[in-house]
Homo-oligomer: A and B are copies of this chain.
Amino acid sequence: MAGLIGLDWGTSSLRAMRFEADGRLLETRQRPWGIRVLPEGGFAAALAHICEGWPTLPILASGMVGSRQGWSETGYVDTPAGPADLAAHCVTLDTHRDQRVRIVPGVRDAQGPDVMRGEEVQVFGALSAHPERRADTWLVLPGTHSKWVQVREGRIHRLHTLMTGELFALLRTHSILGAGVPDDAGADETCFLQGVETARASSASGAFSRLFAARANVLDGRMPAAGVPDFLSGLLIGEELRAAEAAGWTDSAPLLVGDPSLCERYRRAADVFGWRWSDTCTDAAARGLFLLAGLIGDAASVPPAQGAA
């Protein structure tokens, strides 16, 4: 392999990573060109613009770009799903002739049912940085749709989606709870921890039965209106941890994967629950894309059916 361009292409943004042949990351570029907010010229134009000045290299893309609303629909691989399964089911774009563009499939857990697109690449990237955890572990990928992923023998075994980030945005922007919050409300650690503690204390009834507290506390003079966003953030992240604990998803120290500042919020919330978290992996997408590209190179010489085994 002469090198690689990796694309992490989601709903709201596009990130392009240029790798050397030895896996070294030379440059990363980011644009607000998610699959719902493309520039004029659509997918092909977005790709051409973000790669401007880079040499012609194989391209491997993951995320919502492979969904029905994406560039080319790429199916799901069922659990248990390992890197070789993903590599064997990548789809090569036939609409883009100058450069070979492949898209990674999503992963489907039929037991939920539950699905993901993009996070599966981060899972294997994170495991490549922590090979000692491949045998049996949980990974947590916070975000708009948080993913809790159980790995056994190096393959994704179970998968659970919690809509924490999307619920936070809905409540902050559109609900009565967000009304009256000043636009320049700064960070409020006390309210964040109060939200986490409220979720923890909600026990089996769950934090959504305590959601209105964000308003009642303000009316009662117990919380500043500017503290509502952090209270809600703490309440929803706390609810995610509470639900995971109640469902028995956790092991002793799940691996936290993703945006550093968001991971830091989860770490502070976990302290309230008395959890220990292991390392945080913040370059998981880059690692995962390069890993899969290597497997595709290998897999090209064997029939897909064997590659999927």
Which residues in A have some Cβ–Cβ distance to B below 8 Å?
108, 110, 112-115, 145, 160-163, 166-167, 170-171, 173-176, 203-209, 211-213, 215-217, 219-220, 222, 239, 242-244, 246-247
Contact = CB atoms under 8 A, between A and B. Distances in A.
A246 B204 CA distance: 6
13 contacts: A108-B220, A112-B216, A113-B213, A113-B216, A115-B220, A160-B209, A162-B208, A163-B211, A170-B175, A174-B174, A206-B206, A208-B243, A209-B247
A79 B166 CA distance: 36
Contacts of A243: 205-206, 208-209
Given A112-B216, A206-B246, 11 more contacts: A112-B213, A113-B216, A113-B222, A114-B213, A161-B212, A161-B216, A163-B211, A167-B211, A170-B170, A170-B174, A206-B239
Which are the 9 A-B pairs with shortest beta-carbon distances? A206-B206, A161-B212, A204-B246, A205-B247, A209-B243, A205-B243, A204-B204, A205-B246, A113-B220
A41 B161 CA distance: 49
**At the interface, is chain A mostly helix, strand, loop or mixed?**
helix
A149 to B, nearest CB: 14
Nearest to A145: B212
A217 B110 CA distance: 10
Contacts of A209: 160, 162, 243-244, 247
Nearest to A171: B170
A115 B219 contact: yes
A166 B176 contact: yes
